Amino acid sequence: MKVVMLGAPGAGKGTQAKKMAERWQIPHISTGDIFRANIKAGTELGAKAKEYMDQGLLVPDELVVDLVVDRLQQEDCKDGYILDGFPRTIPQAEALDAALEKVNDKLDKAINIDVPDENIINRMSGRRACVQCGATYHITYNPTKVEGKCDACNADLILRDDDKPETVKKRLGVYHEQTQPLIDYYAGKGILSNIDGTIGMDEVFHSIEKVLGA
């Protein structure tokens, strides 16, 4: 089972991808993890990626695809994998398909966790992070015992810049422009399933299980 996860930032695709990885015993793969692993291992691809990252530049699509395909050919991916956060654009999706075809491989399913922008802004602006230990909470869905204080270490909680409504709106704008077209791309290939992401986390997961025939 080879799956790509789609959805706006804050839609919960990372959470669901982790649950899927546990349920089906296949790796949950994000490009950030691949970059870090290759840089740490000192691979040739990792060294190339580091050059761009050290200059604060985006790693070019061609190199990202090479890194991803290299990861997907490792032994732990033989029964499948879940791609999270890649591809982000149509050119990346086309390059990934072409590279997979060369190694006689292809994606089985694209799962889009569908959540309206308004819900995402409310969700993310309700997040709070501990300044000391990094634990995260939500003022509505996962509140602390004492308001504004971390349950684990009693340090102060903050609203991170990334989660401020104005920042979230900007991130959603980039998503709609660059990444949302992937929904039509995978629908055109006949492998897209839309999942309502406004229901509870467990219900979202049950919907994914149904889609994947579990």
Token pair in block for residue 62: 């061609």
Q: Backbone dihedral region of 85: left (phi > 0), alpha (psi from -120 to 50 degrees) or beta?
A: left
Annotation marks residue 23 as catalytic: no
Annotation marks residue 36 as catalytic: no
Beta strands in 21-148 (DSSP E): 28-30, 81-84, 109-114, 127-130, 136-138
Q: 28 falls in which pLDDT band (50, 70, 90)? A: very high
What is the CATH number that goes with domain 2-116+166-211?
3.40.50.300
- Residue of 13, 19, 71, 123 marked catalytic: 13
> In Å, how far are 7, 12, 30, 117, 180 from 197, measured between CA atoms?
9, 8, 20, 11, 15
Annotation marks residue 127 as catalytic: yes
Q: 47 falls in which pLDDT band (50, 70, 90)? A: very high
* Separation between Cα atoms, residue 109 and residue 208, nearest integer Å: 11
Amino acid present at 73: Q
How many Cβ atoms are within 10 Å of 41's Cβ, its own excluded? Answer: 9
The distance in angstroms from the start CA to the end CA of the chain is 11
- Residue of 19, 71, 123, 127 marked catalytic: 127
Average pLDDT, the chain: 92
Hey, is 22 helix, strand or coil? helix
Annotation marks residue 13 as catalytic: yes
Asked if 112 and 181 touch (Cβ cutoff 8 Å), the reply is no
Angle at the Cα of 33 from the Cα atoms of 197 and 15, rounded to 5 degrees: 20
Q: 212 falls in which pLDDT band (50, 70, 90)? A: very high
Tell me: pLDDT of 180 over 80. Answer: yes
Asked if 189 and 183 touch (Cβ cutoff 8 Å), the reply is no
What pTM was estimated for this model as a whole?
0.84
Token pair in block for residue 127: 């997040």
Annotation marks residue 160 as catalytic: yes
* Interval 125-157: pLDDT, tens: 999 999 999 898 999 888 999 999 999 999 999
